[in-house]
Chains A and B, each alone.
Chain A
Amino acid sequence: MTTHKIKKGFDLPLAGNAEQVLADAQEPTVVGLETAEFVGIKPKVLVKEGDTVKTGQPIFLNKLDRDIVWCSPVTGKVKSVEFGARRFLNRVTIENSGKDDYVDLPKAPDSGDREAVVKAVKGAGLWPLIKQRPIGKMPMGDAVPVAIFVNGMDSAPLAADPAFATQGRKDDLQAGINVLKQLTSGNVYLTLRAAGSNQSDVRGLQGVTVHDFDGPHPAGLVGTHIAEIQPLKTGEIAYALSLVDVARIGEWQRTGKYPTHTVVAVSGSAAQDRQYFRVRQDAPIAAVCGGSAPTGDVRVINGDVLNGYVVEPEGYLGYGNKTVTIIPEGTDERDLFGWAVPQFGKMTNHLSVNFGLKKKEYVVDARLNGGHRPIVNIGSWEKVFPLDILPTYLVRAIQANDIEEAIKLGLLEVTEEDVALCTFVDPCKNDVGAIIRQGLDMYEKEA
């Protein structure tokens, strides 16, 4: 076991951490399968309104690879099939009959036949849990990963702790690892927080190489882990997924049934019950908020505050989501002379704001706190970015549409989550992640 100490970074001292208590959430009356989470897919719906579907039955597939399907997490009647512009499938909602009637999902063979394993995982509707590096999307094509990174920690602010969320599921985890081992030609790495809690189960897993990480965020991001453990060479790919996802794959592999439930942490200063919930996949947000959708001037985020997307309070939890963060929105709140007066109550990584006088926790809303400006680099990005990449240089290369140069500068080693802290600290309020994604999109188009 190796311990990697990450020095550069920043732990956002946000108020509203989820208490480490796991409870069963209320069973939803309806679930919503959404496509918004999966950028770049071409969904084709397989059911119509009024159909009765079983748990584990495919609901839509990806036309770019018809083996990749998304399965129903409930048994019941299809309530609605909603399309957006150009008849792009947005959402399928299914009523929950309250009783699961499972489709028999073929398990992955233990023969080492990679293709058969891939096909089984895809058929079970679990392939979208895996993210490919570079790019950071669901793996497409036949390339064999040189390694698989299972992330057993999450250093993002208020994010769910995978080690806690998978406590007591050692058998599921081990079964999941055994499936993953057949997908790669190389190692399966398990990354854990050094001296973290709730790790008694995961430390005993067989067939993985454990690496410990210590330090501030982004010490818990897979981009950091890959750079530290086994940087990818040109043309190589790796798979990345969370320990929670491994448990779900393992559950399917052990039972042959669709893993209907997942564990979601509810956090954020505007959330009511800040704790972990065992909840049905694609359940409404209300299911983890005491039964009713959050109200008031709040922002509900599927994911954490550094990497997530906004959902309507009446929206759904999503497919692979592990954290729901609810923070105040801050609509129409404007500070008088906010730029000039010392602000001791505001979260910052700049001494010019609070002169180093820190609070333990801050309630923070979604305001930008300033106007957009061209990049004026006062070294803020570099202070929180631990990878051996020149972030401003990379961003400028992308802005100049010089993809070749951007790749040389390390574009393929990052995704938007790896540069999220740069966006956070930037005095010029640039969305660095969006620029990185724009570069990755250009790369995908050219490749």
Chain B
Amino acid sequence: MQFLRKLVDKQRKLYHGEDSKFHKIWPLFDALETFLFAPDFRAGKKGVHVRDYVDLKRVMNSVIIAMVPCLLWAFWNTGAQHFAAVSQMITDGKMVAGDYVTGWLQGFLGAPDLAAEVTSSYDTIVFGVQRMLPLVVVSYGVGLAIEGLFCVIRKEEVSEGYLVSGMLIALIVPPSTPLWQLAIGVAFSVVLGKEIFGGTGMNIFNPAMLVRAFLFFAFPAQMSGDTVWVAGNDSPGKIPGSLIDGYSEPTALAIVKTGGEGSKDLLAETYSNADLFFGNMPGSAGEMSKMMVLIGAAVLLITGVGSWRVMVAGVVGMLAAAFIVPIMAEASGLPMTGPMYLDPWQHLICGGFLFGIVFMATDPVSSPETNVGKWIYGLLIGLFTILVRMINPAYPEGTMLAILLLNAFAPTIDHFVAAANIKRRLKRS
């Protein structure tokens, strides 16, 4: 410990002195240094002389810990879905076992045994790691590089915000997303969505959600439809290489979207409620298992980092909307769509709403700051998610659009809450 401290102190001189050799890049050294040792700052001469032990690193770290169950499930399920798809294609005669192309990690650790009746856990996890790890690495690498660059230019300490965004991004894109697209999306989001507003604490939209929205509209072929939710291995000459050629598997919401009156039964044929809850289905990398999301939610609530108001309001808003919208549609003679036939609670276990409301909507920067505002914000996210799911003819899922829309309106919501506060004050005098 002492050794490490001495080493850091020695290096410190190279970066922190005004005319030291590497003074220009001190924010990068500082990020590393404060990762190891808490900074040597003490309270000013006037005012408050003792401080809470919490800091932004710990706050962000709590969120990352909350996401770990989802990440672990992504490692597992990406592999599980992959091998389920491969064996289905072999059974259907669309693929020969010998044509299987191994990926970088499989090439290293050995090809999977496709002849086995049940794919081994080892093969499953190897594939999951092989697919997910590059997503995480690219997301963090590109994002942190840009953040670091901006901090050097601005001469300020590197903020911890991106540590959460980077992980979120890897969890909310389809596992088949090409890495170069992900890199472009991350660069777009960090530069135009965050840094031009002033960096951490200043952005209007949730940076991770912005990446997804960018990819969604810029590369719709790789971000939506029935073929992207199961990842394959890159095979040269096939574009897009990361998909399993010719394999399609619609998500639960896509089934429901086109299902019409019998959508509920149609859904039950493909996925049981247990499948939906435990995440035994294809989807975006990290949001499938509602159980893992709930574990994460518990971590956020216990540590007090995520707002329980937003979470409760979101779930209540969604359930209420899912209950009322079909009734109103029927009463007013609007055409009934598939999602309207689901039980309201089933909307919670389909799609990414739960992940969105737990991890994305609770982002303290892009959500309203006032407690009343948080209730309104959460309720409206629930409502708009259901409106997109039930009434929009094109998109099966509305969580992303609802959260981004409400991010945009968060300052407005706060404004009205503040106006009410001002009005109360004026009334008194």
Is the Cβ of A352 less than 8 Å from the Cβ of B62? yes
Is the Cβ of B58 less than 8 Å from the Cβ of A310? no
Q: Which of A305, A334, A372, A393 contacts B157 (CB 8 A)?
A: A372
Q: Which of A340, A349, A374 contacts B198 (CB 8 A)?
A: A374
With an 8 A cutoff between CB atoms, is B37 at the interface? Answer: yes
* Bound Cα distance from A370 to B53, whole angstroms: 8
* Bound Cα distance from A236 to B417, whole angstroms: 26
Measured CB to CB, the closest approach of chain B to A148, in angstroms, equals 19
Is the Cβ of B41 less than 8 Å from the Cβ of A367? yes
Kindly list chain B residues whose C-beta atoms are within 8 Å of the C-beta of A2.
none
Is the Cβ of A310 less than 8 Å from the Cβ of B425? no
* Bound Cα distance from A348 to B41, whole angstroms: 17
Kindly list chain A residues whose C-beta atoms are within 8 Å of the C-beta of B304.
350-352, 378-379
Kindly list chain B residues whose C-beta atoms are within 8 Å of the C-beta of A346.
53
With an 8 A cutoff between CB atoms, is A1 at the interface? Answer: no
Kindly list chain A residues whose C-beta atoms are within 8 Å of the C-beta of B61.
339-340
Measured CB to CB, the closest approach of chain B to A392, in angstroms, equals 5
Is the Cβ of B53 less than 8 Å from the Cβ of A347? yes
Contact code string B279-310 (vs A, CB < 8 Å = 1, else 0)? 00000000000000000000000111101000
With an 8 A cutoff between CB atoms, is B269 at the interface? Answer: no
Is the Cβ of A434 less than 8 Å from the Cβ of B364? no
Contact code string A209-245 (vs B, CB < 8 Å = 1, else 0)? 0000000000000000000000111101000000000
Q: Which of B50, B55, B417 contacts A12 (CB 8 A)?
A: B50
Is the Cβ of A352 less than 8 Å from the Cβ of B425? no
Contact code string A367-395 (vs B, CB < 8 Å = 1, else 0)? 11111111111111010000011101100
* Given A350-B54, A370-B56: A378 and B305 interface contact (C-beta under 8 Å): yes
Is the Cβ of A336 less than 8 Å from the Cβ of B4? yes
Can you name the residue of chain A whose Cβ is closest to the Cβ of B417?
Answer: A390
* Bound Cα distance from A319 to B261, whole angstroms: 81
Is the Cβ of A393 less than 8 Å from the Cβ of B370? yes
With an 8 A cutoff between CB atoms, is A14 at the interface? Answer: yes
Q: Which of A301, A336, A349 contacts B37 (CB 8 A)?
A: A336
Q: Which of A305, A339, A355, A410 contacts B55 (CB 8 A)?
A: A339
With an 8 A cutoff between CB atoms, is B246 at the interface? Answer: no
Is the Cβ of B38 less than 8 Å from the Cβ of A305? no
Q: Which of B50, B53, B201, B421 contacts A388 (CB 8 A)?
A: B421
* Given A409-B421, A410-B425: A369 and B52 interface contact (C-beta under 8 Å): yes
Can you name the residue of chain B whose Cβ is closest to the Cβ of A425?
Answer: B52
With an 8 A cutoff between CB atoms, is A408 at the interface? Answer: yes
Is the Cβ of A352 less than 8 Å from the Cβ of B48? no
Is the Cβ of B37 less than 8 Å from the Cβ of A429? no
* Bound Cα distance from A307 to B46, whole angstroms: 7
Is the Cβ of A305 less than 8 Å from the Cβ of B48? yes
Contact code string B31-42 (vs A, CB < 8 Å = 1, else 0)? 000101111111
Measured CB to CB, the closest approach of chain B to A271, in angstroms, equals 14
**Considering the complex, which residues of chain B in the window 361-394 have a beta carbon less than 8 Å from any beta carbon of chain A?**
364-365, 369-371
Can you name the residue of chain B whose Cβ is closest to the Cβ of A341?
Answer: B58
Q: Which of A307, A325, A334, A389 contacts B47 (CB 8 A)?
A: A307
* Bound Cα distance from A12 to B160, whole angstroms: 27
Contact code string B109-148 (vs A, CB < 8 Å = 1, else 0)? 0000000000000000000000000000000000000000
Is the Cβ of B201 less than 8 Å from the Cβ of A375? yes
Kindly list chain A residues whose C-beta atoms are within 8 Å of the C-beta of B198.
374
* Given A339-B38, A346-B53: A378 and B364 interface contact (C-beta under 8 Å): yes
Is the Cβ of B45 less than 8 Å from the Cβ of A376? no
Contact code string B387-419 (vs A, CB < 8 Å = 1, else 0)? 000000000000000000000000000100110
With an 8 A cutoff between CB atoms, is A47 at the interface? Answer: no
Is the Cβ of B47 less than 8 Å from the Cβ of A329? no
Is the Cβ of A423 less than 8 Å from the Cβ of B36? no
* Bound Cα distance from A231 to B424, whole angstroms: 12
* Given A374-B199, A393-B418, A408-B425: A424 and B50 interface contact (C-beta under 8 Å): yes
With an 8 A cutoff between CB atoms, is B59 at the interface? Answer: yes
Interface-central residue, B52, B161, B198, B369, by most chain A CB under 10 Å: B52
* Bound Cα distance from A337 to B4, whole angstroms: 12
* Bound Cα distance from A366 to B159, whole angstroms: 23
Can you name the residue of chain A whose Cβ is closest to the Cβ of B42?
Answer: A366
Kindly list chain B residues whose C-beta atoms are within 8 Å of the C-beta of A366.
42-43, 49-50
Kindly list chain B residues whose C-beta atoms are within 8 Å of the C-beta of A310.
45-46, 49
Is the Cβ of B48 less than 8 Å from the Cβ of A348? no
Q: Which of B43, B54, B425, B429 contacts A353 (CB 8 A)?
A: B54
Kindly list chain A residues whose C-beta atoms are within 8 Å of the C-beta of B370.
390, 393
* Bound Cα distance from A309 to B45, whole angstroms: 6
Is the Cβ of A431 less than 8 Å from the Cβ of B418? no
Q: Which of A307, A335, A348, A377 contacts B364 (CB 8 A)?
A: A377
Can you name the residue of chain A whose Cβ is closest to the Cβ of B303?
Answer: A352
Is the Cβ of A327 less than 8 Å from the Cβ of B49? yes
* Bound Cα distance from A305 to B52, whole angstroms: 12
Is the Cβ of B48 less than 8 Å from the Cβ of A370? no
* Given A368-B41, A389-B421, A393-B414: A306 and B48 interface contact (C-beta under 8 Å): yes
Measured CB to CB, the closest approach of chain B to A211, in angstroms, equals 18
Is the Cβ of A379 less than 8 Å from the Cβ of B307? yes
With an 8 A cutoff between CB atoms, is B6 at the interface? Answer: no
Is the Cβ of A339 less than 8 Å from the Cβ of B41? no
With an 8 A cutoff between CB atoms, is A338 at the interface? Answer: yes
Can you name the residue of chain A whose Cβ is closest to the Cβ of B34?
Answer: A371
* Bound Cα distance from A427 to B63, whole angstroms: 14
* Bound Cα distance from A365 to B37, whole angstroms: 17
With an 8 A cutoff between CB atoms, is A343 at the interface? Answer: yes
Is the Cβ of A424 less than 8 Å from the Cβ of B157? no
**Considering the complex, which residues of chain A in the window 394-447 have a beta carbon less than 8 Å from any beta carbon of chain B?**
408-410, 416, 420, 423-429, 431, 433-434
Can you name the residue of chain A whose Cβ is closest to the Cβ of B159?
Answer: A373
* Given A366-B49, A433-B48: A427 and B43 interface contact (C-beta under 8 Å): no
Kindly list chain A residues whose C-beta atoms are within 8 Å of the C-beta of B59.
352, 376, 378, 427
Is the Cβ of A349 less than 8 Å from the Cβ of B418? no
Is the Cβ of A390 less than 8 Å from the Cβ of B44? no
* Bound Cα distance from A420 to B277, whole angstroms: 45
Measured CB to CB, the closest approach of chain A to B348, in angstroms, equals 24
With an 8 A cutoff between CB atoms, is B238 at the interface? Answer: no
* Bound Cα distance from A352 to B38, whole angstroms: 16
Interface-central residue, A233, A366, A370, A389, by most chain B CB under 10 Å: A370
Kindly list chain B residues whose C-beta atoms are within 8 Å of the C-beta of A340.
57-58, 61
Query: What are the 9 closest A-B residue pairs judged by CB atoms, nearest first?
Result: A370-B55, A374-B201, A233-B429, A339-B57, A352-B303, A346-B53, A338-B38, A368-B41, A334-B37
Binding site for B on A (CB under 8 A): 12, 14, 231-234, 236, 299, 301, 305-310, 325, 327, 329-332, 334-340, 343, 346-355, 364-380, 382, 388-390, 392-393, 408-410, 416, 420, 423-429, 431, 433-434
16 sampled A-B residue pairs with Cβ under 8 A: A307-B48, A339-B61, A347-B50, A350-B52, A350-B53, A351-B304, A353-B52, A366-B42, A370-B54, A373-B159, A388-B425, A390-B417, A390-B418, A416-B47, A423-B48, A425-B52
Known: A337-B36, A376-B200, A423-B48. 19 other contacts (CB 8 A): A325-B49, A332-B40, A339-B55, A340-B61, A348-B52, A350-B54, A350-B303, A352-B304, A353-B53, A355-B302, A366-B50, A367-B41, A367-B42, A376-B364, A379-B304, A390-B369, A393-B418, A424-B51, A425-B54
